[in-house]
Amino acid sequence: MTLPAKFVERVLRDLGGTEGAALCAALDAEPPVSVRLNPAKTGADTLPAGPDAGLPVPEAAGLPALAIAGRVPWSRDGRYLAVRPSFTLDPDFHAGAYYVQEASSQFVGHLLAAVRTEGARILDLCAAPGGKTTLYASLAGPDGLVVANEIDRRRASVLADNVRKWGTGNVAVTTCEPRALGDFEAWFDVVAVDAPCSGEGMFRKDPDARGEWSEGNVKQCAARQDEILREAWRALKPGGTLVYSTCTFNRDEDEGALERMAAWAGDEIAESEETAVEDAWGIVCGRVGAFRTFRFYPHRTCGEGFFAAVARKSFDAGGRVRAPKARRTVFAAVDRKTAGELARWVRNPGGMRFAAVADTCYAWYAAQADAVRTLSEALPVIYSGVALGQVFKGVLKPDPALAFFDGLNRGALHAAELDDEETLRFLRRQDIAAGGLAEGMNLVCSRGRALGFAKRIGARVNNLYPNSLRIIKQ
């Protein structure tokens, strides 16, 4: 499908003939492929920083399916790939060792480089499928919390799957209107709005985006963005950081949204720390009032079309921390014996809190456990912390999410390492051989990374990989 005529007309007008034509040509070229490594599962966090450093050969990163071609310069864990592998058939993809994420959008992490994110409370207001949520989760660490909200329930469940796989245990997934989160006033250190938009920046990666584009849709998106920004601002604490991003070039949705916001938020909007950007990256930097803005054009930058902006909420903005009243009790205390059994399964039991939600036991890092409880009592939280599983007669039947958790105590059970062929059988939920498994519950691993659980009873093996994650492709 060709580019929408009105879009081309506007781009040629706004950027001029030569540059506009270069952008349109780039939108018809092959997109680069990139991933973001999971530092907790690849050791990427131990690599030296700097644009030319920290580029592991694939074997060193333990990711043989990835032909790593280079580092995404603004993203410590971002890597370009020389070829697009079959991610579906790569066990490391299923283990949450990396997230397939377009390079430009990884810039939101760089925008937070000068912000104390470790231990921070971060709201990701438009979060599915979770590209940025998983990035924020790695930045927030065990003392921090990412509240990842997605208005669309079906997309929220994909988001929750990706959060489980990423395995940081510091995310709460909610599914509600932004207004419900705006009611958590001045609650968050960072609020990120990755707004629903007209998607012009996705015109080459996602051909459907071309068909869905219309001037009417641009207007609708702009109005929606204005509403979301109002709620984001309410949720942000004075001194906190707002990150606004879209994957469109459209100025009504990008700079326009910030200008309209400036009209009502005025001098509550303050400048953030400067963001270091090298000329070679090709990013077009600008300003809208106190907002610093960053435009990514595919003919200048190795990534898709993207727009990002950052500012702080002034300390003078005032406003008290407020949360809605509890509507229900969600967490039920577990007895001492159950808590003892749960403690066995995590590496840092002293730093975690345990409780049951319905019939499943969960763990949350202590620093944010009360915050998650408060959220859960007021909002639809569909996943939070780490689901440990159900306890029957004092013994835990582990939840599939526990295998992905980077704080799992591997000493709690036997780890069965499968070869690639057997791993694919496991991921397809087919029968696997009993040979390498111990009697009882096993942690199933591939290349040392955990994928799930299987229970051996004599010569029989119950494959406990969840149906919902099962590979269907041959």
C-beta of 126 vs 269, nearer to ligand SAM = 126
- If one asks whether residue 90 binds ligand SAM (CB under 6 A), the answer comes out as no
Q: Is 119 exposed, middle or buried (0-12, 13-18, 19+ CB in 10 A)?
A: middle
Per the CB < 8 A criterion, the answer to whether 451 and 444 are in contact is yes
- In angstroms, give the least distance from the CB of 347 to ligand SAM: 29
State yes or no: is 126 an active-site residue.
no
C-beta of 121 vs 353, nearer to ligand SAM = 121
Contact pick of 224, 300, 397, 429 for ligand SAM (by CB under 6 A): 224
- In angstroms, give the least distance from the CB of 2 to ligand SAM: 24
Contacts (Cβ under 8 Å, ≥6 apart) of 396: 341, 342, 344, 345, 361, 388, 389, 390
Kindly list the distances between the CA atom of residue 49 and the CA atoms of 46, 133, 232, in Å, as whole numbers in the listed order.
9, 22, 32
C-beta of 130 vs 385, nearer to ligand SAM = 130
- In angstroms, give the least distance from the CB of 17 to ligand SAM: 30
Report the alpha-carbon distance of residue 94 to residue 357 in Å, rounded.
26
Q: Which stretch binds ligand SAM (CB under 6 A): 18-26, 52-60, 122-130, 298-306?
A: 122-130
- In angstroms, give the least distance from the CB of 181 to ligand SAM: 9
Strand (E) or helix (H) holding 309? strand 306-313
C-beta of 220 vs 430, nearer to ligand SAM = 220
Per the CB < 8 A criterion, the answer to whether 292 and 311 are in contact is yes
- In angstroms, give the least distance from the CB of 228 to ligand SAM: 5
- If one asks whether residue 33 binds ligand SAM (CB under 6 A), the answer comes out as no
**Which residue's entry shows tokens 């790569």?**
90
C-beta of 127 vs 269, nearer to ligand SAM = 127
Chain residues 124-183 in contact with ligand SAM, contact rule CB under 6 A: 126-132, 150-152, 155, 178
Write b or e for each residue in 19-40: b if 16 or more Cβ atoms lie within 10 A of its Cβ, otherwise e.
ebebbbebbeeebbbbbbbbbb
- In angstroms, give the least distance from the CB of 152 to ligand SAM: 4
**Which residue's entry shows tokens 């070039």?**
249
Query: Would you say the C-alpha torsion 432, 437, 438, 440 has a positive or negative sign?
Result: negative
Residues in the chain: 474
C-beta of 124 vs 189, nearer to ligand SAM = 124
C-beta of 146 vs 418, nearer to ligand SAM = 146
- In angstroms, give the least distance from the CB of 205 to ligand SAM: 13
- If one asks whether residue 194 binds ligand SAM (CB under 6 A), the answer comes out as yes
- In angstroms, give the least distance from the CB of 150 to ligand SAM: 5
Nearest 5°: CA angle at 175, between 171 and 181? 80
Backbone angles phi, psi at 48, to 5 degrees: -65, 150
* Residues in binding contact with ligand SAM, number by CB under 6 A: 16
Binding mask of the shown chain, residues 226 to 265, with x at each position contacting ligand SAM by CB under 6 A = --x-------------------------------------
Per the CB < 8 A criterion, the answer to whether 249 and 300 are in contact is no
Query: Would you say the C-alpha torsion 128, 297, 276, 311 has a positive or negative sign?
Result: negative
Tokens found for residue 149: 């909200």
Write b or e for each residue in 427-453: b if 16 or more Cβ atoms lie within 10 A of its Cβ, otherwise e.
bbbeebebebbeeebbbbbbbebbbbb
Per the CB < 8 A criterion, the answer to whether 115 and 121 are in contact is no
Taking Cα atoms as reference points, which of 310, 308, 363, 313 lies closest to residue 334?
A: 363
Q: Which stretch binds ligand SAM (CB under 6 A): 35-43, 48-56, 90-98, 120-128?
A: 120-128
Q: Exactly one of 24, 197, 221, 247 is catalytic; which is it?
A: 247
C-beta of 79 vs 447, nearer to ligand SAM = 79
Q: Which residues of the shown chain bind ligand SAM in the complex (CB under 6 A)?
A: 126-132, 150-152, 155, 178, 194, 196, 224, 228
Which positions are catalytic? 247
